[in-house]
Amino acid sequence: MTKTLAIARTNTDILAITATAFLGLALVFVAGFANSATLHDVSHDQRHAIAFPCH
């Protein structure tokens, strides 16, 4: 049982590392190649969505 638990934990760790790396690369790609006006509009809309006073 201990061996099975160790394998399951290793698989979970690998999945978490892979998901984090993918998310990080996606954020860098989006921030690096998106039009700055588009990023501004998206962040502005998000501020309105969470009721953050922005103007």
Q: What is the mean pLDDT of each run of 10 residues along the chain (55 residues)?
A: 61 88 88 79 83 75
Please name the residues in contact with 44: beta carbons below 8 A apart, sequence gap of 6 or more.
54
Predicted local distance difference test score (pLDDT) of residue 37: 85
Predicted local distance difference test score (pLDDT) of residue 23: 93
CB–CB of 54/48 below 8 Å?
Answer: yes
CB–CB of 54/47 below 8 Å?
Answer: yes
CB–CB of 31/39 below 8 Å?
Answer: yes
